[in-house]
């Protein structure tokens, strides 16, 4: 996440834990080690924080509220692609692309005069 955002860990002032995996003691230990013993802010109810964020995003998308100084974007969490010959993935939409997204790419069939094609959609980085 820091790499994607081009942010150095020294630039992080507070670490706020929300979401299910943040409850795992091992995950918390790894964060403490990585951020050089910075305090992990755990006073926020993780379930409520995630639900609140989803509600705000939904209201903003529907045009029901405008929050000044806040920009929320829905992005792809993994690269999306299709299977090509040799069971390889041809990436179409890269990880981190803002949604909705549209991508056009020209492919050719594996056999001349092919009348149909099975398109298998892949997701992931490997």
Tell me how far CA of residue 76 lies from CA of 55, 58, 96, 120, in angstroms: 19, 17, 5, 18
pLDDT at residue 94, as a whole number: 92
User: Helices in the chain by DSSP H: which ranges?
Assistant: 25-34, 46-61
Looking at residue 21, its pLDDT comes to 80
Question: ∠ CA 65-66-71 to the nearest 5 degrees?
Answer: 125
For residues 40-53, give the mean pLDDT: 80
Confidence at residue 93, expressed as pLDDT on a 0 to 100 scale: 94
- Identify the structural domains of the chain with CATH numbers, from first to last: 9-61 (no CATH), 74-126 (2.60.34.10)
Q: pLDDT tens digit string along 56-103?
A: 888 888 888 887 777 777 888 899 999 988 888 999 999 989 988 998
pLDDT computed for residue 80 by the predictor? 93
32-55 mean pLDDT: 81
* Interval 101-114 mean pLDDT: 87
């Amino acid at each position: 996440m820091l790499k994607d955002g081009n942010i150095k860990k020294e630039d992080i002032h507070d670490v706020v834990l929300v979401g299910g995996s943040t409850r795992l003691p091992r995950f918390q230990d790894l964060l403490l080690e990585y951020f050089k013993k910075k305090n992990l802010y755990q006073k926020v109810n993780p379930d409520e924080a995630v639900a609140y964020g989803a509600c705000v995003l939904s209201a903003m998308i529907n045009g029901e509220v405008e929050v000044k100084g806040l920009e929320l974007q829905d992005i792809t969490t993994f690269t999306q692609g299709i299977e090509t010959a040799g069971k390889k993935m041809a990436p179409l939409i890269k990880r981190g692309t803002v949604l909705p997204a549209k991508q056009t790419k020209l492919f050719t069939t594996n056999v001349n005069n092919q009348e149909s094609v099975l398109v298998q959609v892949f997701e992931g980085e490997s």
